[in-house]
Structure 1
Amino acid sequence: MSFERVQEKLNILADAAKYDVSCSSSGSNRTNTNKGLGNASNSGICHTYTEDGRCVSLLKILLTNHCIFDCAYCVTRKSNDIKRAAFQVQEVVDLTINFYRRNYIEGLFLSSGIFKSADYTMERLVSVAKKLRLEENFNGYIHLKSIPGASDELMREAGLYADRLSVNIEIPTEQGLKLLAPDKNRADFIKPMEKVKNEIIQYKSEKKLIKNTPKYAPAGQSTQMIVGASGENDMQIMYTSNYFYKNFNLKRVYYSGYVPISYDTRLPQIGTPVPMLRENRLYQTDWLLRFYGFNIEEILNEQHQHLDLDIDPKLGWALRNLHEFPVDVNKADKRMLARIPGLGMKSVFKILHARRYRQLNWDHLKAIGVSLNRAQYFLICASNQFETRDLTAEKIKGLILQNTKSKYTSMLSNQLNLFG
């Protein structure tokens, strides 16, 4: 195979992979052994930046963009008139190793269209990972996209060589899936996720008894949903996420705004992409559920089925529950501190530590890093200076938005002065 042909394949299949956003981090603890190649660190592998500030990258490609399905929302669907290509297993292995040796990448994210069958496709994805681990002694990060409907045997083998596995459930509701991908069945997505969950549980149990038990998907599993393709509201999307978090021990759920790519009466019109701000609000809600102790019903319910795009979901909850405030930061427990708008979890832990030695006032909170622009309306501390308490939720929202816009305008003005 000529270099030009491999380069052509790479251009096609890397471009086709850009719609999958679920490769942000690994969380793997796979370490280099026996003078192997690469290392997957605990801090995570990203295609942008890690938590410790490192800019890193993955080779993010499809094995093929041929597909037997005709999902309306997918650029690789069989009826779409696009240029097709397929890598051989060895070509992906060689690309990964060559790119790694040139310091272009730190790992591989490999997905695929489904050709022939789920097992046929999954077998080739596993072959890539297996060759990298056993033949090339590659210890870098590998994320494999699990193929819906793949056999339990292949899913078990995949987890022995990949750091993370993921199955995209694609559409948040079964009704939406039937509308846009009538050939697919939600049960086919559930099966490999259930297998991976059980294998991870078994691995952790055996690890306690047998120290050298082979690792199984050390970075866990994740999934992705397309937002805005089939009309689900925010409540439906987040209730689906909550279900998968609770029942499959997922590490992450990713939310990908639908990008209109072709005309179809079942889909949003071309030229009307999902606002990035909606994705951001969904991620913020996801964060509240996983790290801030919120229940899904507190944020989204029959009375509040949509997230407010103007303000973050924690502020939205606080404005709907003003009877819970003000909170005394010198007395409140961790759960209630975490519910104060303007306080992140780092600030919460700093407050819990600092108040052991002194009564905290506004200056202390500002030094800790509390966003007083928001928090001042919801807390009290060791200070006589305080905002008026007779403000309504609408007035507080207006003041916060006004201050936020003022800060943005001031920052923009400073940038123009600096470069103008």
Structure 2
Amino acid sequence: MELKAKLAILADAAKYDASCASSGGRARDSSDGRGLGSNDGTGICHSFTPDGRCVSLLKVLLTNFCQYDCLYCVNRASSNVQRARFSVEEVVHLTLDFYRRNCIEGLFLSSGIIRSPDYTMEQVVEVARQLREDHDFRGYIHLKTIPEAAPELLARAGRYADRLSINVELPTEAGLRALAPEKDVGSIRRSMARLRVHIDAAREQRREADEKPVTVVPGVRPARAQPPHFAAAGQSTQMIVGADGTDDATILGTSAQLYGAYALKRVYYSAFSPIPHAAAGLPLKAPPLVREHRLYQADWLMRFYGFEAAEITPPAAGGMLSLDVDPKLAWALAHPERFPVDLNRAPRELLLRVPGLGVKAVERLLLARRVRRLRSDDLKRLHVLTRKVLPFVELADHRPRGEAPTPSPERMPEQGVLF
């Protein structure tokens, strides 16, 4: 099979892995003969760094042949799909070629299971090794690791990859047994634990190296020996939403446990998509995409806003997130006793629970109120969306529901410059 044909098959087969997916853009392509490139096909996806930079990645499978028969997977053993397989050298060639053409900045590589988990993992790691050692490739590499593979192979993968990920696939052990009987929750969790140990150990070694004194020799620039990195961007995972009857409360509870136990960077949620020749045990329709969106919003609240999973999906809601309003607003409407929040007095933890206030907006408010008592007009200057915020807050000149503002006993200057 020609390389171009393999790329078409194996890039399309990788689209179901959401851990580096991009979405929300207007579809554009050059099929009409005008322009160059496309943003609605498969093969190149976008990931985002902690400082907000967008990184374009070549996203492919090493092969879509697979010994496993996971019912939700289009590449399962019993699926009637066209198969293809790259050699290690072909993936290396494609990555370097796309990089030199300035199409990508890195590689996202996954694979079906061929021969054995160890053999497959050896092939995946060899791609990364050749890129790093033989070609001095310094771009981003994300490897999808195989939990059943030997620990030493996972350890080698972390030497070359920026990020490693192991998919838990489904939020409950019962769901995994029913839909992916060849996979084992214990094996997945053990591999995640091993990766965390390696990541934590590498960071500790680098911290200790940074704290060691450097010997200064006249005329020679001081150099500090640094231990090698191990998956410096951490590890992540993915859960399929809607392939079984698991509710949102269970999904978020599993995510919270994974974040706490394995220090994951991200849990990705992928709405189940009906696949060709689907098994009878799968739903006939996909869940609404807004459910996936609400789970990401709830996940954000747990990671950055101090919410507990149980708060976001209380028992009264039947374990499901509202599809009509975002989880933060839903929580605020369910807890009227916590509002209004005085923006001039409330601690950071409470400000983060106000609908319409993000992390950066809260930091700006905390800095601004050191200078003067905040008023309604100040919110606009601080780029706060007043339409969402004002019904839930109290300011020097504002109380919701038309009530008169209560004078504050604090002696703070009424005039001042915010910037």
Partner of 2:12: 15
- Structure 1 residues 55, 143: CA separation in 2 closer, same or farther (over 3 Å shift)? closer
Partner of 2:114: 115
- Alignment partner of 1:240 is 2:254: yes
How far apart are residue 387 of structure 1 and its match?
A: 2.6
How far apart are residue 303 of structure 1 and its match?
A: 2.8
Equivalent position to 1:265, from 262, 270, 280: 280
Q: Deviations over 1:177-225 (max 9, x none)?
A: 1111112211121122111100011111211333410110000000000
1:319-358 equivalences under 5 Å are 319-358=333-372
Contact 1:59–1:107 (CA under 8 A) maintained in structure 2: yes
Q: Deviations over 1:5-47 (max 9, x none)?
A: 111111100000000010259xxxxxxxxxxxxxxxxxxx961
- Residue type of the alignment partner of 1:361: R
Which secondary structure state, in structure 1, belongs to the residue aligned with residue 258 of structure 2? helix
Q: TM-score under structure 1 normalisation? A: 0.84
- Residue type of the alignment partner of 2:311: E
- Residue type of the alignment partner of 1:292: Y
Partner of 1:308: 322
How many equivalent residue pairs? Answer: 365
Contact 1:289–1:295 (CA under 8 A) maintained in structure 2: yes
Partner of 1:298: 311
Q: Deviations over 1:220-241 (max 9, x none)?
A: 0000000000111100111110
Tell me how far apart the structure 2 counterparts of residues 182 and 53 of structure 1 sit (CA, whole Å). Answer: 39
Partner of 2:290: 277
Tell me how far apart the structure 1 counterparts of residues 80 and 323 of structure 2 sit (CA, whole Å). Answer: 36
How far apart are residue 96 of structure 1 and its match?
A: 0.6
- Structure 1 residues 194, 52: CA separation in 2 closer, same or farther (over 3 Å shift)? closer
Q: Deviations over 1:84-119 (max 9, x none)?
A: 111111111111111111111110000000111111
Tell me how far apart the structure 2 counterparts of residues 263 and 289 of structure 1 sit (CA, whole Å). Answer: 34
- Residue type of the alignment partner of 1:263: A
Please identify, of 209-218 and 73-82, the stretch whose mean Cα deviation from structure 2 is larger. Answer: 209-218
- Residue type of the alignment partner of 2:145: S
Which secondary structure state, in structure 2, belongs to the residue aligned with residue 22 of structure 1? helix
Tell me how far apart the structure 2 counterparts of residues 279 and 366 of structure 1 sit (CA, whole Å). Answer: 31
Tell me how far apart the structure 2 counterparts of residues 90 and 375 of structure 1 sit (CA, whole Å). Answer: 55
Tell me how far apart the structure 1 counterparts of residues 255 and 402 of structure 2 sit (CA, whole Å). Answer: 39
Q: Unaligned stretches of 5+ in structure 1?
A: 26-44, 390-420
Tell me how far apart the structure 1 counterparts of residues 141 and 240 of structure 2 sit (CA, whole Å). Answer: 23
Contact 1:23–1:143 (CA under 8 A) maintained in structure 2: no
Please identify, of 370-379 and 130-139, the stretch whose mean Cα deviation from structure 2 is larger. Answer: 370-379
- Alignment partner of 1:79 is 2:116: no
Tell me how far apart the structure 2 counterparts of residues 263 and 136 of structure 1 sit (CA, whole Å). Answer: 42
Partner of 1:393: none
Partner of 1:67: 66
- Structure 1 residues 260, 58: CA separation in 2 closer, same or farther (over 3 Å shift)? same
- Alignment partner of 1:129 is 2:128: yes
- Structure 1 residues 388, 233: CA separation in 2 closer, same or farther (over 3 Å shift)? farther
- Structure 1 residues 384, 193: CA separation in 2 closer, same or farther (over 3 Å shift)? closer
Which secondary structure state, in structure 1, belongs to the residue aligned with residue 316 of structure 2? coil
Tell me how far apart the structure 2 counterparts of residues 386 and 202 of structure 1 sit (CA, whole Å). Answer: 51
**Coordinate RMSD, CA, aligned:** 1.8
- Alignment partner of 1:153 is 2:166: no
Residue identity over aligned pairs, in percent, reads 52
Partner of 2:94: 95
Contact 1:149–1:191 (CA under 8 A) maintained in structure 2: no
Contact 1:230–1:267 (CA under 8 A) maintained in structure 2: yes
Q: TM-score under structure 2 normalisation? A: 0.84
- Alignment partner of 1:363 is 2:377: yes
Q: Unaligned stretches of 5+ in structure 2?
A: 23-43, 210-224, 404-419
- Residue type of the alignment partner of 2:144: K
How far apart are residue 53 of structure 1 and its match?
A: 7.0
Equivalent position to 1:372, from 351, 366, 386: 386
Which secondary structure state, in structure 2, belongs to the residue aligned with residue 255 of structure 1? strand
Which secondary structure state, in structure 2, belongs to the residue aligned with residue 288 of structure 1? helix
- Residue type of the alignment partner of 1:268: P
How far apart are residue 51 of structure 1 and its match?
A: 7.3
How far apart are residue 265 of structure 1 and its match?
A: 2.3
Partner of 1:141: 140
Partner of 2:167: 168
